[in-house]
Structures are given as C-alpha cells and as structure tokens.
Amino acid sequence: MLDVLCVIDTRFTGGTPAAMGSDIAVFLEAGLQVGVAGVRSAYLADMPDGWSSKVSEVMADDRLHWIEPQEGGAVAAETVFLHHPMTFFCGIETPLPLRAKRVCLVAHHLPFRADGSMQYDPIATARRIHRKTGATPEWLPVSGVCRAQLDAFRPFIRLSALDWPNVFDVGAWEPRREPFSGGSLVIGRHSRPDPLKWPDRAADVRASLPNLPGGEIRVMGCPRAEMAKLGVDMSAWKVLEFDEEPVAGFLDGLDVFAYHYHRAYSECFGRTVAEAMLMKAVCVLDPRLEPTFGNLAVYCPPEDTAQMITRLQGDPVAARALASRAREEITRRHGTSSVMPRLAALQAKTPQPAIAQPAAERTIPRHLIAKKLIGMVRRREYFEWQIAARAQSRE
C-alpha cells in the first residue's frame, strides 16, 4: 500500500502540477511511499498527449511510483489526493478504482467564474468521482475564496475544515537583488500562455504593461496569436516561451510584477503571484486578487498601472519594504513546513481549523445555484456527453 497517491491529468501545466510537485517533494523527504496516477479528461482535450514539462519535472524523482490506470485492479493507498476538480467534473476516460482510507479532492479551481456563471458543479463532480473510483471525496480548498464558494454546496459535499494551500520550498526562491535598485526599471509577468490569464481588450493589455521612460518589459508565457488578433503591439517586449527560463531566475530580474487578467476569469489562488513575492518583485495586481494577498501588494485597474508604478519609483525605500514584507508573509503562510502537520491532521480525522484568510465573498444562495446549473445545461457545459461533444468539436 502506498502512503500517498496523487492523481492528475498529466497534460496540466502551470500552478496545478507545481503545487502537487511541492507537496510530493515534502512527502518523499519524510520517507513516505508516494505514487502518481495519470488520467485523461475532456477538460484538457486541447492539450497534446503525454506529460507536460512540469509533470515530467516532478516524475524525474526515481523514488516515485508511476501508476497506470487499468480496468479491474484497485490502487491501494493510505491517502489519495485528486488534483483539480475540472478534471473530474468533465470526466476521466479510464476508471481508477481506489482502495484508500481517505480520498481528497484538492480544489485548485473555483466553481464560479468572475461573471457569476458556473464552471463546474461540486455535487456532480463528487458523484462522477464516485462512479469512476468508488470513493466519495473530501474537498480541500486551496484558499479562503475557494472555501467560501464551496461552502454553498454543503451538506451535499464533504467540505474539510482543513485548507490545502499551495506551498513552496522557500530555499529554492532566494532573490539576489532588491527591486528598484538598478539603473533601469523592469516590468514583467509570468503565466501559462492562456488567453484567460490576460486582459481581453488590447487597451487593457497595453495599459497593464506600460512602456515607461527608461524601462523595459519582459514576459514569459504569452498567447502570441491571441494578442496579435487583439491588435496588441508586442515589438517593445522581450517575450520568452512559457518556462523557457527557470521561473525564479526570470522573476529575480523584475522590479515590478504586473498581473491583470480576463474579465470572465477567476483566480482561485494565484501561485505565480506568490512566486513573484518570494523573489521580491513588487506586485501590482488586479483588484480581484486583494482578498487573497491583502496588504502584500498594490491593486489597480489596468489603466492605472503606469501611475501606480511611477508612484513606486518615487519612493523606492517604501517599495523595497513592501517587497520584503510580502516575501516574509508568503514564507510564513506557504512554507513547506506546514505540509506534514496538515497531512497528520487529515489522517487523524482531527483537522485543524481552516487557515485564516482575508474576508471572502458571501456564500452563494441556493436559488442562485439552481439558476446557474440551468445555465450550464443550456450552454452544453454540464453533462459529460455534452462536455465530450464540445471537446471533440475543438480537436
């Protein structure tokens, strides 16, 4: 029997496999027997088959056991972590029978989009997991914002009192320079090249990465084709492919990490923001991220970004103090030292209180949930056969 089994669609890029990898590294160092099972879901139908670069990086550790889902035999583990609810809401292709003491679904994704429409139904997700694995999952939110949304679905889902936030090996995120200490101003951002990670209007894209006197713009991970369709002029940017450089090194070269995103998108946590804070880049963020990061950043709409950065330039001492405070707080909240105590609490069935988070949005009323579910059905986004048909049409 494995101590821990992690289940993920291996085509995932970005924060989900990075968060899983951080957990796995801690489990392995603690001497646990850890396995990874790969599944395929219609959610990532647009992605190429195989392992993403981030999953390949995780699987490079030869202490890991690779589990191939097969018809028939069950996988035995003390604790199972299913990663990303959209994987299981959209349905996995091959059943993965589980024989485990506890099966947990790590909610890296919010049920509702920023425009209020529903992305997945947690109740249906739990049922689809049971049908494919034989287990009823316990939900582990990665943030207070996520917990607030999932709380609306109790008692029809098993919502843990324990949060499962992203963690970082802080020793691997050691900045070598202070922001606003060089001759030039470097503004940049890093994310997977998903259009939803970017503003959906050309004017907002340009404003969120302002071309200021004596400055330069660096971007790692850019949906070039979509930006070109919007009419965004990228000629003054230094654009790198997603993860073309080590993320820590790229972020260490920035004075300002500027991050705004699509009006219809919701960030469940914002791992790339936390990474920037660990590398002491001063973060100028979309105001929708304030419930997660509070006073660790400054917030403004895209059109005010240039003014905000100019203000930071005018008081570099205060800007560096903000960067230092953000690094210290992210280290405290999200260091790897929290993982094994949380696992012990989870296994002991005496979960600690949920990690304190800034005030999150109010629980969604039940009648509104019913309306959103009807909307999903009408958009052909609810039933697995609808999702599969949409996925096939995109291929």
The 10s digit of each residue's pLDDT in 299-335 is 999 999 999 999 999 999 999 999 999 999 999 999 9
Q: Give the phi and the psi of residue 118 in degrees, each rounded to 5.
A: -90, 135
List the structure tokens of 253.
């070269």
Residue given tokens 């994987």 in the structure block: 87
- Condensed to tens digits (0 to 9), the pLDDT of residues 240-280 reads 999 899 999 999 999 999 999 999 999 999 999 999 999 99
At 199 the three-state DSSP class reads coil
* Sheet strand arrangement including 138-141: 65-67, 34-39, 2-9, 75-83, 98-107, 138-141, 158-159
3-state DSSP of 92-112? ECCCCCEEEEEEEEEECCCCE
Least confident of 163-172, 262-271, 283-292, 350-359: 350-359
pLDDT of 357 > 60? The answer is: no
Cβ atoms of residues 158 and 17 within 8 Å: no
Position 182 confidence tier, pLDDT thresholds 50, 70, 90: confident
CB 105 within 8 Å of CB 88: yes
Q: Are the CB atoms for 346 and 162 separated by under 8 Å?
A: yes
More confident site: 181 or 394: 181
Looking at per-residue pLDDT, the higher value among 298 and 355 belongs to 298
Confidence of residue 348 (pLDDT cuts 50, 70, 90): confident
Express each pLDDT in 46-90 by its tens digit: 999 999 999 999 999 999 999 987 766 899 999 999 999 999 999
In this prediction, residue 350 carries a pLDDT of 52
Range 112-126 average pLDDT? 94
The whole-angstrom separation of Cα 351 and Cα 274 is: 25
Specify the DSSP element, H or E, that contains 277.
helix 271-278
Distance separating alpha carbons of residues 196 and 194, to the nearest angstrom: 5
Confidence of residue 218 (pLDDT cuts 50, 70, 90): very high
CA 44 to chain centre: 15
Neighbours of 34 (CB within 10 A): 22
Give the whole-angstrom CA distance, residue 298 versus residue 43. 33
> Quick one: pLDDT band at residue 356, thresholds 50, 70, 90?
very low
| Planar angle of CA 214, 216, 217, nearest 5 degrees | 150
* % of the chain with per-residue pLDDT over 90: 87
pLDDT of residue 22: 96
- Of 198 and 68, the one with more pLDDT: 198
- pLDDT value at position 395? 60
| Nearest alpha-carbon partner for 36 in 54, 49, 46, 47 | 54
